[in-house]
């Protein structure tokens, strides 16, 4: 077969027991056998059609994963309809939450299509605070992968929304902003660092993601610098490590001095990262200084020696 118009989707669906109460395992076997009978483009058309009429979550997930492998633009419409739950009337057996994992897979598959026409649907789900948080998370992730600057304003609003029930959604929005790379996001990301503190604070991981996003954006302005400087005193070691990495981009004497002070941090991993950062800034001379002077910890000396040894092995 070569003409999709000649395919009788209803007959194929009936043969594969689509939209029936048959055990899904049997359905999977029948779907798999279609690959021996139809071309790739025919399979895409068939699976797109099945996506519109099937209602069992496990079968829908199978279909979405298959369509995600092909990544054909024709799948955008049925994937979007399923994400938005159009023409899906919930009932006692298949209520809305029953489709959560299905819709999460839809968002991922949609982002892999790289079609910017999908932005509105993804934003619709992200901005619906009554929506399942897993759906909103997956849509934030998808928007970051898609990289469309139309989403920046909404993502900034999510990051800045202190009334947002799920901090994980704010984290995903921060990551997305870093991936999109629009400088408008700097303000909302810096506010995260200015407003929250403490390792026991539920916003600690949000700060990590905000700093990572700022590293991608590299704004190099005084306000961001001061926020990163403040974050070097955060109780969360990973926030301090991320701040060290971000400050390297400033290439100023003050930034270098701040990073060098972190060689005396109480946390061993922070010390190690500070050694690596200083090496990236100053080269081997700072490693030899660390090894020669007694004021530096054993951890710093070990890391300095490891770097020197690795450099020697690379040269040989």
Mean pLDDT computed over 245-265:
95
Mean pLDDT computed over 47-61:
96
CB 241 within 8 A of CB 273: yes
Tell which residue, 201, 109, 211, 117, has the closest CA to residue 159.
Answer: 211
Token pair, residue 51, equals 């996506």
Return d(Cα 33, Cα 42) in angstroms, integer: 13
pLDDT averaged over every residue in the chain: 92
Token pair, residue 163, equals 């009334």
Query: pLDDT tens digits for 110-159?
Result: 999 999 999 999 999 999 999 999 999 999 999 999 999 999 999 999 99
Query: pLDDT tens digits for 180-219?
Result: 999 999 999 999 998 855 444 667 889 999 999 999 998 8
Return d(Cα 6, Cα 156) in angstroms, integer: 48
pLDDT category at 23 given cuts 50, 70, 90 is very high
Coil, strand or helix at 2: coil
Cβ contacts of residue 173 below 8 Å, gap of 6+? 126, 140, 155, 156, 158, 159
Would you say the C-alpha torsion 264, 268, 274, 276 has a positive or negative sign?
A: positive
pLDDT category at 1 given cuts 50, 70, 90 is very low
Return d(Cα 68, Cα 62) in angstroms, integer: 10
Please determine, for residue 8, whether its predicted confidence score (pLDDT) is greater than 80.
yes
pLDDT value, residue 200: 44
CB 235 within 8 A of CB 198: yes
Convert 295-304 to b/e letters by CB count within 10 Å (16 or more is b). Answer: ebbebbbbbb
CB atoms within 10 A of CB 237: 17
Q: Of 26-35, 97-106, 194-203, 205-214, which gets the smallest average pLDDT?
A: 194-203
pLDDT value, residue 283: 94
pLDDT value, residue 315: 59
Long-range contacts of 252-260 (CB under 8 A, 24+ apart): 255/225, 256/281, 256/282, 258/229, 258/232
- Following DSSP, what letter does each residue of 18-78 receive, concatenated? TTSSS-HHHHHHHHHHHTTTS-HHHHHHHHHHHHHH---HHHHHHHHHHHHHH--GGGHHH
CB 151 within 8 A of CB 142: no
Return d(Cα 192, Cα 210) in angstroms, integer: 7
pLDDT value, residue 228: 96
Coil, strand or helix at 108: helix
pLDDT value, residue 96: 74
């Amino acid at each position: 077969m070569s003409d999709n118009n000649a395919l009788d989707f209803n007959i194929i669906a009936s043969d594969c027991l689509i939209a029936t109460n048959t055990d899904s395992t049997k359905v999977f076997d029948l779907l798999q056998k279609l690959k021996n009978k139809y071309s790739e483009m025919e399979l895409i058309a068939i699976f797109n059609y099945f996506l519109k009429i099937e209602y069992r979550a496990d079968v829908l997930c199978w279909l979405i994963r298959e369509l995600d492998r092909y990544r054909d633009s024709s799948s955008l419409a049925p994937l979007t309809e399923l994400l938005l739950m159009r023409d899906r009337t919930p009932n006692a057996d298949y209520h809305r939450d029953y489709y959560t994992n299905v819709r999460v897979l839809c968002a991922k598959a949609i982002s892999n299509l790289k079609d910017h026409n999908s932005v509105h649907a993804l934003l619709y789900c992200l901005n619906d605070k009554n929506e399942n948080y897993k759906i909103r998370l997956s849509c934030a992730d998808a928007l970051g992968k898609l990289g469309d600057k139309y989403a920046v304003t909404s993502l900034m609003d999510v990051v800045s929304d202190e009334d947002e029930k799920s901090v994980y959604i704010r984290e995903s929005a921060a990551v997305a902003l870093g991936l999109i790379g629009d400088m408008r996001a700097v303000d909302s990301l810096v506010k995260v660092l200015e407003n929250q503190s403490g390792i026991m604070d539920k916003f600690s991981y949000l700060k990590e993601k905000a700093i990572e996003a700022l590293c991608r954006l590299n704004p190099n302005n005084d306000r961001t610098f001061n926020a990163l400087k403040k974050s070097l005193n955060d109780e969360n070691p990973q926030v301090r490590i991320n701040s060290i990495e971000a400050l390297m981009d400033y290439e100023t004497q003050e930034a270098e001095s701040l990073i060098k002070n972190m060689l005396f941090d109480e946390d061993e991993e922070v010390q190690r990262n500070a050694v690596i950062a200083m090496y990236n800034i100053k080269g081997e001379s700072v490693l030899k200084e660390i090894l020669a002077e007694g004021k530096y910890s054993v951890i710093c000396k070990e890391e300095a020696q490891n770097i020197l040894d690795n450099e020697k092995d690379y040269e040989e």
